[in-house]
Amino acid sequence: MADNNDIPPVPLPPADVTAGSAVPPVEPAPVVPPAPAAPSADAPTTPPAYGAPATPPPAYGAPATPPPAAPAYGSPTAYGQPAYAPAPAGPSQGLSVTSMVLGIVGVVFSFFYFGFLPAVAAVITGHMAQRRQPYARGFWITGLITGYIGIAISVITFLALIAIFVFASTYSGTYY
């Protein structure tokens, strides 16, 4: 157990500091919320009832103010943009879409022994689109994946067809 002699004493302030020379603590300035703005003379003091018009209708027989005219086609609006600007055409995505379509055709036709060539074409056009059209990534990736799947299904189907022919030709059973 430790003695109280091991703990150093708390230092006291110097004796030559007088009470008037010490710096008092700084208190933060009180935060005063801003006063609400006085209502203007022409502003209504109470909101209009639900469904009532915000401005009173013109007197009977007085000309009504016409509605604001719509901006002309292509003319700038208050924000400097044309009112009805056509959307800019995007870059061409022909190779990517071709790859995707050929890949899907290759997968479907692989089950009928005709899908190998479209699947190979999908892989070739997919790799071409990968270099030329990197912005159309979703299309050419779909074409590559379905193309490789179509090639795999075609190869498996072809090997199964060869196995069936080999088994049928070596079968020496007799039918009664």
Give the count of domains, the chain.
Answer: 1
User: Is the pLDDT reported for residue 18 higher than 70?
Assistant: no
Q: Is there a domain that residue 4 lies in?
A: no
pLDDT in tens, 24-61: 566 677 777 777 666 666 655 666 667 766 676 667 77
pLDDT in tens, 84-104: 667 777 888 999 999 999 999
pLDDT in tens, 152-175: 999 999 999 999 999 988 887 766
Q: Is there a domain that residue 36 lies in?
A: no
Q: In which domain, by residue range, is 158 found?
A: 94-168
pLDDT in tens, 111-136: 888 999 999 999 999 999 999 999 99
Report the C-alpha gap between 107 and 152 in whole angstroms: 9
Q: Is there a domain that residue 1 lies in?
A: no
Q: Is there a domain that residue 104 lies in?
A: yes
Q: Is there a domain that residue 6 lies in?
A: no
Q: Is the pTM of this model over 0.75?
A: no
Q: Is there a domain that residue 157 lies in?
A: yes
